[in-house]
Chain A
Amino acid sequence: MPTLREWFSRLWHTFHRSRRDADLEDELRAHLALAEDDARGRGVASDDARRVAVLQVGPLAPALDAMRDQRRLPWMADFGVDLRRACRTLVHQPGFAATAVLSLALGIGANTAIVSVVSGVLLRPLPFPQPDEIVQVSVMNASDPRLPAQYVTGADLAAWRTHARSVRALAAYLVTSRTLQDGVEPERLAVVETQAPLFVTLGTHAAVGRTLREDDAPDAAVISASLWQRHFSSDPTIVGHRLTLDGQSFTIVGVMPAGFQFPYPRGASADLWSLDNGATTDVWVPWSRQLSDQGRVDSVVGRRQPGASIDAARAELTTIADGLVAGRRVNVVPLGDVVAGHVRLPLLVLLGASGLVLLTACANVANLLLARAASRAHETAVRAALGASRWRLVRQHVAEGLVLSSAGSMCGLLVAVMAMPPLVALADSYLPRATDIGLDWRVLAVLASVCLAAGVVFGIVPDARIDLGRDMKSGERGSTPHGRVRDGLVVAEVALAFALLVGAGLLLRTFVNLRHAPSGFDVAGVLTAHIAVADADESAAIEARVSSIPGVQAAGFVSLLPLQESGWSGRFAIDGRDGMGSAEFRYVTPGYFRAMDIPVMRGRTFTTADRAGAALAIVVNEAFVRQYLPDVDPVGRVLHDRGEIVGVVGDVRQVSLDESSMPEIYYPVAQNFAQLSSVGSTLVVRSDQPFPRLADAIRAAVRDVNPHQSTFRVESMADVVAASMGDRTLYVSLLGIFAIIGTAVAAAGVHAVIAYLVATRTREIGIRLALGATTADVRRLIMSRGAALVAVGLATGGIAALLLTRFLQGVLFGVTATDPLTFAGVAALLALVGLAASVGPAERAARVDPALTMRTE
């Protein structure tokens, strides 16, 4: 048995010639010389000594050969020659090589990039110990989960903590935003109020100092590593320093490790607190309010006991909650799903699409290799007849497949490396966990090996069908073995491109539909700015001051802009009716409706007369009237403790453009400032002024009212709308890119097959022309072949697309997955592309010179 060391030595010598042939030969010659010396010593005549020596020790040449074979791995050395030759032949056919390498590179690159994103966003566990155990707990209406305003109460939390066995370490938290006033420039930060034991639940320890404890004073604070760096220059003696947020002083007790985030950012577009530095939390402080039994607990996380299933936890918590207030259902969701669940479907769709691109690319390369093999069938047969072993021939073709696929893989790596930064930048705005995305080398390795294997297989397959007799007959040079296989591959390419294009088309239509979806407001000329107003008087003063800026038509505050992932909702009772209802709540100043151009359908909107102390007034939207007061005039109705409905306004999309409006109640800020302050506030201004100048004017106006007040994140309402569609933009552009790649590859495939067809039938075409066929006839002959392939591809692709687009259903809006217009459009486009790809070869066929062709044959 050869040892490993021998193999390495031989492998080494395969590529390095450390013991040269001359050296080996010297050794053998020395041996011969010694034998000659001996012979002479025995008395053999000098002339004869050489002959006797050779007889004794054997001839030199075979011995040298045997040594050479032993020195290296001969077949591998030969393979090196094969590889070099493959490179040479491919360089001489740059079109063929470039097409194959480029398709593979795009396929591999796109897949590596997408799978890297998927593995970072969906597959990698969250950075907490035993992240599977962490669950988010919420309460829903048992009858209709879509209905809002069911929330966890203090009593629920207390009961769960006492009785629940499946979930432990339940912690409540509330995300707020506050202004950090210690620095030179005030900075708006996301601050999470937590009820211990949040850090126990998460299982993360502080990097410096400690995390929050149950017995902490209300002014304790834990800060993020990022804030520690930005504001405290990573001061190691940070513990005990003070921090002023919205005028309230806190004592820092610890710093979390870099990268720690909770709540884990979901990558949502614009957020509730609309910060300058994105949606990352910088400060964690103890819960500030007394938690009453009926008080609302915004969010709850806990740790599932190992062994308790999600369903078991859900059932147990529901039973306990049901004992307090009936008709509610508890939802227990793994934190990973909360963070990334909403992007799973679109990402999987993209993954599938990139897979289709790779398939198309592989089909194309297979096709090209088969076409080559066919055009070289004659050469192969001659070589076989001259004594080349089948193994030898196969090896050479495998070498070509290997060269192509390794070049493709390397370029694919390049594509992936170049595609990652822009992709991550895009993803950063719209996907959760973008920071967890990195180029996944394992994926690249797997894909590259698959392609290498494919290269080998398609190098071998054509050789399996070498038929000496058939391939040698000189007249049969135009025979086309594997014709069917190649046609099949082209059909498959066209079909895959069809499916990709239909997917991209459907998403594009969704995108357009969303752009034109009735948002309920008018974005033209509307600018928004976040201002943490101190009290109702200040908001009124700012509204009045901004309204007086020349060119401003209306200005008003709202607690939360429309089209936000998060919302604020609550329950209410209508006087004279049974039962409770629930609705979105928004707190606005009188100018808001005009600033957003939300139409008043009945009654009136708020005026400055709706101030604190006056009769409580509310405005509802049409969805509210449809759901709760369809049968009566809503104006004049009273909501218990909340106020009298003074008007009805048009519906506004609250969550996103593709989710219908929910019932909504608007409250005047002047009568409800306490609620507004905990949500934050946004100034909305409608004007005919250019935005940069308007933004400056607004900042100046705000400073006029309160020199210490600052204005954060000024953006146009159009940008807010665009941001709400941001993830769609990402999906539609990526799928679009994939579709374009797929189409290009398929077009290259059609072109390659038709061009090959023309090349192999040159003689036949020459004869036809000689016998009187017109060039138009020849063009028609070639084009009809291309058309036939494309037609079959379209039919197959249509069926494939019908089967595949159903997976898109969940991300479509205003268009069905089987939209005939999209299908027809895509079919027309592909038909055009396919025909265009056949035009070149058809022209070449038409230019065939009959005399010349006949003579060369």
Chain B
Amino acid sequence: MANTAPKTDVLQGTLDLMVLRTLEALGPSHGYTVAGRIEQISNGAVQLNMGTLYPALMRLEQRGFIRGDWGVTENNRRARFYRLTAAGRRQLVAETAEWERMAAIMQSLLHQQS
């Protein structure tokens, strides 16, 4: 765990933000919808397999940002539906701001005139 921390940390943070934002946009949804939406928005660039997505969902749930409950999909399959909690909304606002700040910094760094 510890030796791969730096790389995963960045990815984790990004993934968490993606999931939170998607849940905000879609409302309560199950994992498959979330993954599909992210894939669709990214034009197929981000393909989440289950081994990445579900630990992330579990982590977010453990942190109290989302809540999952069993429900039934439109075509009658049982699935676990996740929705944002109040803490999740606050976290989303904070992380979005942080991400934009970081992106702005990177932007100016990469495109600075020499």
Contacts and interface: CB of A to CB of B under 8 A. Distances in A.
B50 A10 contact: no
B59 A70 contact: yes
Contacts of B18: none
A30 B30 contact: yes
A26 interface: yes
B80 A62 contact: no
Contacts of B58: 67, 70-71
5 contacts: A6-B62, A31-B30, A57-B49, A58-B51, A66-B54
Interface residues of A, number: 30
Interface string B38-65: 0000000001111110110011001110
A5 B52 CA distance: 21
B73 A34 contact: yes
Contacts of A66: 51-52, 54-55
A69 interface: yes
Given A5-B64, A69-B55, A34 B50 contact: no
Given A34-B79, A57-B35, A63 B62 contact: no
Interface in A156-195: none
Interface of B: 30-32, 35-36, 47-52, 54-55, 58-59, 62-64, 73, 75, 77-80
Contacts of B59: 2, 6, 70
Nearest to B59: A70
A655 interface: no
Contacts of A58: 49-52
B78 A31 contact: no
A30 B75 CA distance: 12
Contacts of A2: 59, 63
A309 interface: no
A163 B50 CA distance: 90
Contacts of B63: 2-3, 5-6, 9
Nearest to B56: A70
A31, A60, A69: residue with the most chain B Cβ atoms closer than 10 Å: A31
Nearest to B64: A5
Contacts of A3: 63-64
A65 to B, nearest CB: 8
Contacts of B64: 3, 5
Contact of B50 (A26, A28, A69, A71): A28
A27 B54 contact: yes
A10 B49 contact: no
Interface string A58-87: 111011001101110000000000000000
Contacts of A60: 50
A436 interface: no
Nearest to A71: B58
Contact of B54 (A9, A28, A37, A59): A28
A62 B62 contact: no
A552 to B, nearest CB: 89
Nearest to B73: A34
Contacts of A113: none
A524 B20 CA distance: 94
Given A10-B62, A67-B58, A57 B80 contact: no
Interface in A787-824: none
A33 interface: yes
B7 to A, nearest CB: 16
A1 B28 CA distance: 26
Nearest to A69: B55
Contacts of B52: 58, 66
Contact of B49 (A24, A63, A69): A63
A35 interface: yes
Contacts of B49: 56-58, 63
Given A34-B79, A58-B49, A67 B54 contact: yes
B70 to A, nearest CB: 8
A37 B75 contact: yes
Query: What are the nearest 4 A-B pairs in CB distance?
Result: A58-B49, A63-B50, A63-B51, A9-B62
